[in-house]
Each structure stands twice: as C-alpha cells, then as structure tokens.
Amino acid sequence: MNPLYPIEWAVAWIMVKFHALLGLVMDPNSGWTWMLSIVALTVVVRVIITPLFIRQIRSSRAMQAVSPQLQALQKRYKGKTDPESRQKMATEMQAVYKEAGASPLSSCLPLLLQMPIFFALFRVLFYKLPEAAGGAAFGPLTVDLAKSAYHATLLGSTTIADSFLKTGDGGITSKIVAGVIIALMCLTTFITQKELTMRNMPPSALEGPMASTQKMMMYMLPFIYVITGPGMPIGVLMYWLTTSLWTLAQQLIVVLTYPTPGSPAEASRHRRINDKRERKGLEPLDFTPKKPAVVVEEESAPIRVQPKKAAGGKKLSDQERLEQARAAREKAQADRRAAQEAKAAEEKDKPSSGSALSKKNQGGKKRRK
C-alpha cells in the first residue's frame, strides 16, 4: 500500500475544490486556473503549519541565547575523544537545551512536514493526472477534470505536467518556463538566507558550528533546486516557488517587527522607532539593555598533580595522584579554617581580659588609699 495515498487524495481534493471556485471567474480549462489552484493549495498548507513556524522562531531565539553556554561546553571538552567525555558532553548539552526550551530540530519541522505534501503533489501531477486523463479516475480527480488539467496550457503548449527534462508538446517554451521558476526559487531562497536570516542574527551567533551550518545551507539549498528542479513538473515547481515566497514574507515580517535581540535588524528597528518619535517631537527612547549585577564567584585554585610514587616504589596512577592532591587540598583548607577560627576566638577573648586587668588595678588603688 502506498503510504502517501491519503495525502495524495487530500492534495487532489483541495486542488479540485479551488479549481471549481476559480472557475466561477476564470476559464475552467485554462492552465492558469489550475496553476492558481496549486498556489491556493500551497497557501492552505502554509497557514496550517504557521504554529510550527512560530515555534521555530522561539526555538531559534532560545538556541541563540544558549550559544555561549554551548561554546563553553565545547571548549571544556575540547580534545577529549574518549566515550565517557563524549557522553558527558552530550548529556550536559541536552540539559542546556531542556532548560532553555530549545530544540535543534525545531527549525527543520516546517520543512519536514511539507516534504510528504511535496512528494504527494509530485505523484499526483506526474502519475495520477496522466492515468486519470487516460480513463482511471483518482478520487475527486474525475476523468473530465484530469483531461482539463492535463491538456490546459499556460504559454503556448506548455502544461502544468511538463518539466524541463520532459517538455511534452511545449518544447523550448516548457524549458524556459521551468528554468525561470527554478531561477526564481534559487533567488528567493538565497535572499531569505542571506539578507534576512543572516541580518537577523546577533554577532555572537555568527560564530561557531551553527553559523557554519547556516552559511552552508545558504548556498546548498539553491544548489539542490538546480539539481532536482529540472525533473519536477511545472506545477510542483510552482508549489515550491510559492512556499519560498511565503517563507520570504514571513522572515521579512519577523525582521521588521520581532527582530532577534542584539542583531543588526534590531538596531534598525530601534532607529526607525526613534526617527518616528522625532518626527512627532517626542524624546528618543533608550534601548540600551541594562546590565544585570553579576556576582563573580572566586574559583578554587586548580589541582596541580605532581608525579609521586607509593611507599613500595610503585608509580601511582593518574587517578590515585588526583585523589591524593584532592585530599591534600581539603586538609590544607581545613587547617586554614581551624587557624581562622582560633584567631577569631583569640580576638574575642581580648576585651574580657582587658576589663579584668582594669578592675584589678582599680582594687589596688583603693587599698593604697
């Protein structure tokens, strides 16, 4: 059984319903009517996963907030390749993620949830549509509707089922239409990653492994479209172009209204707010973050392990030397505490001794009189 069958059926149903709605004001047999039905399908999908996008933004902020802690953990375990150290590092990183409410996978959820719909639409346009046009109806996609969609043209003889590699009757026109859509997909994705996402990140987040991954994705995603796009039907390419434009618009709204703290986008927003207040004759706002009072705890001196030998001349292991050093440090600390307590007790007894001496002197004076 095809696991994508329910999603394929739902995709075909949404397309058919929007085609019927658009057919009231447009030519039902036009390729543009079917193309706009695919655009409407994309909008429905993106509206459904909008809560996941909000969760993605929150998780991304949390990931940026814990970035210094993650870098400190990586420095602490740098050079330690034994399984125990790796396990401890992974456990501590998971604790940091849990405390901050961050998840590295949250940024991938919207993309992962769209992939089944993407492949379902691909199968509907690439397999089900020709089969339904040949007489084998597929759910809500009847034979008449399938023939209308399969033979509806956009430009010249280009249909939504044509692709760059399989042009059908469209010939060079289909290649041009598919090539233009692929180019727009690459451009939209690059702008989203470069001009918006990178501008919405603080300088501290532009360093480390996460920043390297972000920069790699900025160039890898357009390259993936160039590789996979030519084999996709034009209707599927239009779906992906629409979702890329939706993502660009969402990122633009986030950058303008809810920028990341400490990012260049936040500084631009503060300037816009103060410029608007200046035009109204109001005092500018001070957006400088208040520095919290931080109590710096005095760190204990590092343990220095000297090479020693046991009483029998046997060389001690690293763990045994470390335990001896810890025991020596604890003993030294206990001796210092005892000396401090003895000194405090001595200072406390001094006033009482002085008062007794003064009373003795006064009694001697009385006897002499």
Q: pLDDT of 54-91, one tens digit each?
A: 777 777 767 766 777 777 887 888 877 778 888 888 88
Q: Does residue 194 register a pLDDT over 60?
A: yes
Q: What is the mean pLDDT of residues 143-169?
A: 87
How high does pLDDT run on average in the chain? 78
**Residue 301 included in any domain:** no
Confidence of residue 293 (pLDDT cuts 50, 70, 90): very low
**Residue 259 included in any domain:** yes
What's residue 187's pLDDT?
92
The model's pTM is: 0.65
Which residues form the domain of 164?
5-66+90-266
List beta partners, residue 309. 315
**Residue 235 included in any domain:** yes
**Residue at token pair 């040949």:** 134
Cβ-contact 49, 110 below 8 angstroms: yes
What's residue 305's pLDDT?
47
List beta partners, residue 163. 233
What's residue 21's pLDDT?
93
**Residue 207 included in any domain:** yes
341 burial (CB, 10 Å; 0-12 / 13-18 / 19+) is exposed
Cβ-contact 91, 73 below 8 angstroms: no
What's residue 22's pLDDT?
92
Q: How far apart are CA 247 and CA 254, in angstroms?
A: 11
**Residue 272 included in any domain:** no
Q: What is the pLDDT of residues 218-272, one digit of tens each?
A: 778 788 888 988 988 898 899 889 988 998 888 888 888 877 777 787 888 888 8
Q: Does residue 164 register a pLDDT over 70?
A: yes
Give SS3 for 156: coil
Task: State what percent of residues in the chain have pLDDT above 70.
Answer: 76
Q: What is the pLDDT of residues 128-146, one digit of tens each?
A: 888 888 888 888 888 898 8
CA 41 to mean position of chain CA atoms: 26
Using the 8-state DSSP alphabet, how is residue 299 labeled? Answer: P
Cβ-contact 163, 233 below 8 angstroms: yes
Structure tokens at 104: 């590295």
**Residue 333 included in any domain:** no
Q: Total structural domains in the chain?
A: 1
- Coarse DSSP helix, strand, coil percentages of the chain, rounded to the nearest 5 percent: 70, 0, 30
Q: Does residue 324 register a pLDDT over 80?
A: no
**Residue 336 included in any domain:** no
Q: Does residue 368 register a pLDDT over 70?
A: no
Confidence of residue 349 (pLDDT cuts 50, 70, 90): low
Phi, psi at residue 299, to the nearest 5°? -80, 145
Which residue spans within 101-164 are E strands per DSSP?
none
**Residue 159 included in any domain:** yes
b/e map 80-95, b = 16+ CB within 10 Å: eeeeeeeeebeebbee
CA 307 to mean position of chain CA atoms: 47
